[in-house]
Chains A and B, each alone.
Chain A
């Protein structure tokens, strides 16, 4: 399997080249186009991820689409093109056995079945912040396709960094995170407009996005006519 990314940074398109009988799972709604000879099954979960309730848990906690589509190539192989909803870049991380990748729910696009996805929400359960602080934990082996809103910044971390939750795309194991406040006091943090931030520390790789989906959604969404509850 090879994932080719074109049209970065603003309007990226990922083309997944599938060898005969290979398959890839992708977030529902991300399919742009595909060659003939690919069969599609819609799943609420996936084989390695807890079935229906696994899918529900991911959708409720991870901010990820409830459904995933499994694209399986036939005897001739094939290609599937994928894109996210918003403007921005995509990147592939080759997950190695034994490594864990924590992905902000809305940043996940696709991975093969050799990668298992699970929700991960250590120590912050029930915390109301209005910004999603939910991560998917990817383990296993294979390429994981991520999307960013805006440009993507890859950083090798060795130490500490404060990151706005809406700008974090993903990070590898070796990095621990804890909820923190942007300024000294909670009131000041709230007034600063930065809300809650994550303090990440350790050694690993971190991806940031140059725009914040919640900020954009909030700005434009307020201008739209009210919807029915």
Chain B
């Protein structure tokens, strides 16, 4: 498999080139286009329970598509949900990488594992519908951001990130989620939870936040007519 990330950083598009019998797995809805020599099979990856767990805890879709090339040099184009950038992360055997649930686009490597990291409150970004997926190698995972991807390298210090701006982080980092600002009302105005990262590694931060866009659009919604009127 070869890949190229086109149109980075604002509207990134992933081009994957597959050889005969090579496969690529992608989030349902991520496909933009493909050559005719690629077959698609839709499955509940990880079995029914695994898929349900990912759907309800991880926020990704229940179904995933597996693309298999019949001949060599077949192209597949994929995109993330929001406008923004795309990145690839190659993982060795047993190496882990943490992704915000909505950032996952696809992966190569049939032995790559995707699991919802559900360590109670610690892994649970309540309120904003964000969860953390643990991706374990071997394989390459592709992920997308809303806005640009800003990399922050940590060397043992603490670093705080709004949970809505987290894209990914390396396995070497530890984190703790807490309320930010101290005002309960701020949960409604878009600023709510932050994660304090600690350790040596990299945090990938996205420069836009889907909850912020939703908060902007909310006042523009029509107002429901009251029952009885």
Contacts and interface: CB of A to CB of B under 8 A. Distances in A.
Interface of A: 6-7, 10-13, 28-29, 31-36, 40, 42, 65-67, 69, 81, 83-87, 213, 217-218, 220-222, 224-229
A227 B217 CA distance: 11
A222 to B, nearest CB: 7
Contacts of A6: 148, 150
11 contacts: A10-B147, A11-B83, A13-B150, A29-B212, A32-B165, A33-B205, A42-B181, A42-B183, A87-B83, A225-B221, A229-B223
B207 A11 contact: yes
A74 to B, nearest CB: 12
B219 interface: yes
Contacts of B72: none
Interface string B172-209: 00000000111101100111000000000001010111
A213 B212 CA distance: 14
Contacts of A217: 216-217, 219-220
Interface of B: 9-10, 83-84, 147-148, 150, 152, 157-162, 165, 180-183, 185-186, 189-191, 203, 205, 207-209, 212-213, 215-226
A218 B220 contact: yes
Contacts, number: 134
Given A7-B150, A13-B150, A227-B223, A32 B205 contact: yes
The interface centre, meaning the residue of A40, A83, A229 with most chain B CB atoms within 10 A of its CB, is: A83
A128 B219 CA distance: 17
A65 B220 CA distance: 16
B205 A229 contact: no
Contacts of A85: 190, 208-209, 212-213, 215-216
A36 B160 contact: yes
B183 A67 contact: yes
A12 B221 contact: no
Contact of A35 (B9, B157, B207): B157
Nearest to A222: B222
Contacts of B161: 32-33
Given A12-B207, A35-B159, A42-B183, A81 B223 contact: no
B72 to A, nearest CB: 36
B147 A222 contact: no
Contact of A40 (B84, B181, B205, B221): B181
Contacts of A35: 157-160
Contacts of B152: 33
Nearest to B158: A36
Nearest to A214: B220
Given A12-B207, A35-B158, 20 more contacts: A10-B10, A13-B147, A28-B191, A29-B186, A32-B162, A33-B150, A36-B158, A65-B189, A66-B189, A67-B181, A83-B147, A83-B208, A85-B215, A87-B208, A221-B219, A222-B220, A222-B222, A226-B222, A227-B222, A227-B224
